[in-house]
Amino acid sequence: MLSGSLELQAARTPPKTALFPIDRHQLSLGELAYTSLKEAIVRGHFRAGQKLTVRRVAEALSISTSPARDAIMRLIGEGALANAGPKTVIVPILTLAALDEVTSIRLVLEPLAAGIAAERIAGDSVEGLKKLQAQSTSMLDATNHAATLRADKSFHF
> For residue 11, what pLDDT is reported?
41
Sequence ranges of the domains in the chain: 6-90, 96-156
pLDDT digits (tens, 9 = 90+) for 84-123: 888 789 999 989 999 999 999 999 999 999 899 889 988 7
Q: pTM here?
A: 0.61
* Amino acid 4: pLDDT: 41
Crossing angle of helices 145-156/123-141, nearest 10°? 160
- Report, at the CATH architecture level, how domain 6-90 is classified: Orthogonal Bundle (1.10)
**Complete DSSP assignment for 61-130:** HTS-HHHHHHHHHHHHHHTSSEEEETTEEEPPPPPHHHHHHHHHHHHHHHHHHHHHHHHH--HHHHHHHH
- Residue 24 has what pLDDT? 60
For 146: left if phi > 0, alpha if psi spans -120 to 50, otherwise beta; the answer is alpha
Task: Collect the ranges in the chain with pLDDT lower than 70.
Answer: 1-18, 22-26
So what's the pLDDT on residue 65? 93
